[in-house]
Amino acid sequence: MEDLKNRVDELLENQEYDKALELLTENEMNGETDTWTNSTTGWILGKLGRREEALEYLRKVEGEGEESSWLCCEIGWNLGALGKSKEAVYYLNRAKELGRDDIWINSELGWNMGRLDRNEEAVYYLNRAKELGRDDNWIFEELGWNLGILKKYEEALENLVISEKMKEPDAWTNSQIGWNLGKMDRDEEAVNYLKKAVEQGREDTWVFSTLAWNLGKLDRTEEALEYLLKAKELGRDDEWINSEIGWNYDRIDKYDEAYKYLKKVEDMGRNDAWFFREYGWCIGRLEGDREEEALKYLLKAEELEKADSWLNTEIGWNLGKLGKYTEALERLKKAEEQGDSSKWLYREIAWNLGRAKKPKEALEYLRKAEDKENLTPWICTEFAWNLGKLGETEEAILYLKKAKELGRDDPWVNRELGWNLGKLEKYKEALECLKKAEEMEENSDAWLYREIGWNLGMLDEFEKALEYLRKAEEMEEADDWLNSQIGWNLGEQDKYVEAMIYIERAMKQGRNDSWINGEYGWLLTKLGKHTEALEYLKKAEEDKEKEPSNWLLEQLGDVYKEIGNYDTALEYYKKIEENDSEDSTNLSNIADILTKLGRREEAAEYYKKSKKKNGKVENYSIAANYEKMGDYENAAKYYFKVITEENRRDTWIYKKAGAVFKKIGKYVEALDCYKKAKEFNGKNSSKEIDAEIAWLERKMK
């Protein structure tokens, strides 16, 4: 046996483990075994990595009642190598109890404690090994790894950097340094180290996942997705990786892709606040009006944690899209109270305030969100929309035009611009915009047809106006406004009976303002119903919401004139004169009334005043007044001015001129006028004109 020991020791000294094992095996086969041969065989098998066999022999020694620190260390070492760290720790601690307290045993205890997630104890033993003199890269790597697990990232990094300096760092070391840097939010550095690890050949789910996590934090989303998908290809398919893939797809607005992965996470059972927030966010941005579904998950997140500013803004955003503006504003303003002062939040609050019909407040928030150096079409249109609601039409137009300059030229902006221009009585410009909106739209709505119709009416294009207003009427049940507009345009085309039908409809629908009563009264006058007309015109005058317009005063004056109440008619015409002393038509009306009242000299003065203001209408009025006064010479003079200076050419004026020329004995001039009256009258020439021509021809023979 002694000879065997010497030969084995010699072989072990030369590290010829296989030959030593052959001798010991041969000896065992001869039935010559003892504690020494079993111990040595176990030790050699451990050296050769044959751990299970090693333990078999070492257990034999243990079974013989042998207990030493050496044996406990050997058993512990092999158990640890087999991943049986719990059993390994038992034996290693037993060895310590038996007196062993060197570098090796503390290192081994530290290593196994780390694999049992007993990291605090691992650090203790590893530091003990350092105290005893261990100073290699392994000890610093192990310390770094365990300290990182304990979230002591700075200490971990210190140890790993020491290891890095001791040797050319391998993929593992670079991975660990990168991981800890990432935990310290030093993401750029983390990515550099992790990519080094990949270049060195590390290509597993851990490194790809960690690299992707850091890239995501740097908003390098496309790269992050590349590594996440690589990790997934290698088999990682847990909640975390599917959540991260979904999160990153959300960041690049690929919501359908994101949804696929987040749905899978839901199916896996993830139910924490982060997931519900992210899932709700994603669903809210899918097509198909899924705000209710989004809110379900966002509110689940709120059940699990107090809503912060982000969650309140997201809930508010979805509520706003559902038209629940008051609820949305509660959430968004809560986010503001929680410290969110972003321009995005101010824009969202403004948007909801506008839809809640609070344009003044909306503008306050828009001004907070406004970046005058970098205006966007969106903020310009929102400014315009709210300004329009407040009647700040000119400023609204400026913002709308700015939006167009910045590239927004869609139906909405053209509609809004047309609407505002119309309010400023810029009807032609308004129509250009509204017609452009119509051209852009595949199917226009009633609102647009109403607006086009209204502006056309203001331009006296009544027939075209009616065409559009009728289109609106076909698309929706006509309200009081539409019925009023149709009625007004019909009236302007002398279709008084049909006009009244529409005006009456509007009145039955509740419209009872100065305009509608005035319009109805005017239509009644056209139908010769002056007494009834007066009732409605007086109602219009008495409207407390609005001062009587000159148009209304004129209608009242005309009605009183028709019923022979010239004094009252004169009062109304005089009121118009107070408002507008240069209204030539009104001055002529005053002159006519004064004539009827026998106040001819005053009448002549008003005719002269009217002539100074407008040389067309008033020549006729002056002529008519002189005719009524019996001053036919002057009447003939002014009728001739109407024909020659104003270039008026019609049957009526030639008849009037012919009549006064006849009365003053200027038969040549009279005959010429009557012949021209006949010429203009054409086939409709009256017997009256023919008779006058015949009489004058006989008189001149």
* Beta strand extents in 48-187 (DSSP E only): none
Number of Cβ within a 10 Å radius of residue 251: 15
Q: How far apart are CA 79 and CA 55, in angstroms?
A: 8
198-247 tens-digit pLDDT: 999 999 999 999 999 999 999 999 999 999 999 999 999 999 999 999 99
**For the segment 127-168, what is each residue's pLDDT rounded down to a tens digit?**
999 999 999 999 999 999 999 999 999 999 999 999 999 988
* Interhelix angle 137-149/119-131, nearest 10 degrees: 150
pLDDT above 90 coverage of the chain, percent? 78
pLDDT score recorded for residue 614 = 52
3-state DSSP assignment of residue 586: helix
Report the candidate in 18, 38, 16, 14 with the shortest Cα–Cα distance to residue 27.
Answer: 38
Alpha carbons 272 and 277: distance in angstroms, whole number? 9
Q: So what's the pLDDT on residue 255?
A: 95
Q: Which two tokens stand for residue 122?
A: 């691992």
CB 555 within 8 A of CB 539: no
Could you tell me which residues come within 8 angstroms of residue 502 by beta carbon, excluding any fewer than 6 positions away? 483, 484, 486, 487, 490
497 confidence band (pLDDT: 50, 70, 90) = very high
Sign of CA dihedral 304, 305, 307, 313: negative
The residue whose two tokens read 């406990």 is 72
Region of poorest pLDDT, from 8-17, 117-126, 177-186, 672-681: 672-681
Which among 598, 651, 673 is positioned nearest to 629, based on CA atoms? Answer: 598
Per-residue pLDDT of 34-67, as tens digits, reads 899 999 999 999 999 999 999 999 999 998 877 8
Residue 470 scores a pLDDT above 90: yes
Q: How confident is the model at residue 685 (pLDDT cuts 50, 70, 90)?
A: low
Sign of CA dihedral 638, 605, 547, 425: positive
CA angle 34, 38, 42 (to 5 degrees): 170
pLDDT at 629: 72
| CB contact at 8 A, 26 and 41 | no
Q: Tell me the CA distances in angstroms from 481 to 79, 335, 564, one per residue in order.
A: 92, 42, 35
Which range has highest mean pLDDT (123-127, 575-579, 691-695)?
123-127
- Judged against a pLDDT cut of 70, whether residue 329 lies above it is answered with yes
Closest CA to 384 of 356, 415, 407: 415
pLDDT band at 618 (very low <50, low <70, confident <90, very high): low
pLDDT value, residue 28: 84
Instruction: Evaluate if residue 457 carries a pLDDT over 90.
Output: yes
Which residues have C-beta within 8 Å of that of residue 701, sequence separation ≥ 6? none
**Nearby residues of 156 by Cβ (< 8 Å), 6 or more positions away:** 143, 144, 145, 146, 147, 148, 150, 176, 180
**Closest CA relative to residue 517, chosen from 480, 571, 471:** 480
Task: Specify the pLDDT at position 83.
Answer: 95
Q: For residues 236 and 601, give the distance between their C-alpha atoms in angstroms, rounded to a whole number.
A: 108
Q: Is the pLDDT of residue 621 over 90?
A: no
pLDDT tens string 578-612 = 999 888 889 888 988 998 898 888 888 887 787 66
Q: Please tell me the predicted confidence (pLDDT) of residue 547.
A: 86
Q: Is residue 683 packed enough to be buried (19+ CB in 10 Å), middle (13-18) or exposed (0-12)?
A: exposed
Structure tokens at 610: 């009217």
- Name the residue among 462, 471, 458, 381 with its Cα closest to residue 426: 458
d(CA 248, CA 227): 11
> pTM above 0.75?
no
